[in-house]
Amino acid sequence: MTDAIRRHDPLVKGFASDNYAGVHPEILQALALANGGHQTAYGDDVYTEALQEIFRGHFGPEAMAWPMFNGTGANVVALRAMTAHWEAVVCADSAHIHTDEGGAPERSAGLKLLPVATPDGKLTPDLIDRQAWGFGDEHRAQPKVVSITQTTELGTLYTPAEIKAVCDHAHELGMVVHLDGSRATNAAAALDVPLRAFTTDVGVDVLSFGGTKAGLMFGEAVVVLNPDAVRGLRYLRKSSMQLASKMRFVSVQFEALLAGDLWLRNARNANAMAQRLAVAVRGIDGVEVPRPVQANAVFATLPRDVIERLQKRFRFYTWNEATGEVRWMTAFDTTEADVDAFAAALAEEMDSSA
Ligand SMILES: Cc1ncc(COP(=O)(O)O)c(C=O)c1O
């Protein structure tokens, strides 16, 4: 028996991020199932083998999944595989690869990012053109990849038609498309479409598919939809330090998530709780919700003193210090009672600020 002590209260939840949540019990069960005995290391195990069929079921017969440790690593490996040394990546200036990965794409992959300002975190063909120029000019890093995020860092959602327009435009320019799908399951649930409807079916070439925010302990997968868009992934995963030796434990988690409907149940719950939260806080005088609530993020502007007091009661991040905008994220395990308690606390703090 372990001597470990539980050091936190498992009933306490916040709204800081969907990766503050724990592990879905069905994922933990799957991990236990895969335990015991020996399996070949580095992905030559029966769980990783079985996973390919499951990913193909979601993304089509060409799909090939490469399990990795985390989302930053998956993005870096995908982008490295999609570019030559002289090529560059067009992305939104709010993209996680640009703002939140500690410069990993630049530092560890030597990538040149070409960021574009967007109103809502979404690229369009016109916005892509602000950076997709200078083809053949030896003085300019050559635009090769368009990287979009679904759902975006600003909580917005591309429709399949919007992603198709991005892909068609990129392909006309001789470029390829990477989708950071850290929250791809939330997008599918919100759009009420299969995962392939906004990826494979509309021309996305490579996807970083998120597992951690969907209920895994850890694990993401680079999913190649167009094999012609990548080179050397097998070697790049190792040289980027993303090759798990005990890969069966990443793969079995994805199997538990994707073989049935766990991914959809989890994403639907997170999205529904964000809607419930948005409705509740819009009803509180003085609280503004400045961005559309389309998946599992709610942005709001509040007086600074309220933010400070509320943060002592619940964990969440200030998104923009200057404007007093905060971000609240819901997760697979957020309950109606969690949302209602948070909204009630916000109403109290607003009252005492008035
Ligand atoms: C859109 C997006 N992409 C990638 C990541 C990176 O994931 P990780 O923290 O596992 O590196 C995150 C994490 O917050 C994210 O929100």
Query: Which tokens hold the place of 64?
Result: 């090939």
Any residues with Cβ below 6 Å from ligand 1, and which?
70-72, 75, 96, 149, 153, 180, 182, 212
Distance of CA 335 to the CA centre of its chain: 21
User: What number does the ligand 1 atom closest to the CA of 152 have?
Assistant: 1
Residue 1 has pLDDT above 80, yes or no: no
Residue 76 pLDDT: 98
pLDDT of 251-278, one tens digit each? Answer: 999 999 999 999 999 999 999 999 999 9
- Residue 215's SS3 state is coil
pLDDT of 176-211, one tens digit each? Answer: 999 999 999 999 999 999 999 999 999 999 999 999
- How far apart CA 220 and CA 206 sit, in angstroms, is 13
Residue 325 pLDDT: 96
Mean pLDDT of 277-302: 96
pLDDT of 113-156, one tens digit each? Answer: 999 999 999 999 999 999 999 999 999 999 999 999 999 999 99
- How far apart CA 306 and CA 313 sit, in angstroms, is 11
- Residue 112's SS3 state is strand
Residue 220 pLDDT: 98
C-alpha of residue 71 to centroid of ligand 1, in Å: 5
Residue 353 has pLDDT above 90, yes or no: no
Residue 204 pLDDT: 98
For ligand 1, atom 9, name the residue with the nearest CA: 71
Residue 129 pLDDT: 98
Banded model confidence at residue 288, pLDDT cuts 50, 70, 90: very high
Residue 354 has pLDDT above 80, yes or no: no
Q: Judge residue 209's burial from the number of C-beta atoms within 10 Å of its C-beta, 0-12 exposed, 13-18 middle, 19 or more buried.
A: buried
Site to substitute for ligand 1 among 182, 241, 250, 317, most atoms within 8 A of C-beta:
182
C-alpha of residue 254 to centroid of ligand 1, in Å: 17
Contact 150, 162 (CB under 8 A): no
Q: Judge residue 140's burial from the number of C-beta atoms within 10 Å of its C-beta, 0-12 exposed, 13-18 middle, 19 or more buried.
A: middle
User: What number does the ligand 1 atom closest to the CA of 149 have?
Assistant: 1
User: What number does the ligand 1 atom closest to the CA of 95 have?
Assistant: 1
Residue 2 has pLDDT above 90, yes or no: no
C-alpha of residue 70 to centroid of ligand 1, in Å: 8
pLDDT of 95-112, one tens digit each? Answer: 999 999 999 999 999 999
* Residue where the block lists tokens 């190792």: 238
pLDDT of 4-29, one tens digit each? Answer: 999 999 999 999 999 999 999 999 99
For 144, 198, 292, the CA distances from 156, given in Å and listed in that order, are: 25, 14, 7
105: Cβ contacts below 8 Å, ≥ 6 apart: 75, 76, 79, 89, 97, 98, 111, 113
Looking at every residue in the chain, the average pLDDT score rounds to: 97
C-alpha of residue 39 to centroid of ligand 1, in Å: 29
Site to substitute for ligand 1 among 69, 70, 72, most atoms within 8 A of C-beta:
72
For ligand 1, atom 13, name the residue with the nearest CA: 71
pLDDT of 309-347, one tens digit each? Answer: 999 999 999 999 999 999 999 999 999 999 999 999 999
C-alpha of residue 152 to centroid of ligand 1, in Å: 11
For 13, 198, 334, 342, the CA distances from 338, given in Å and listed in that order, are: 7, 31, 6, 6
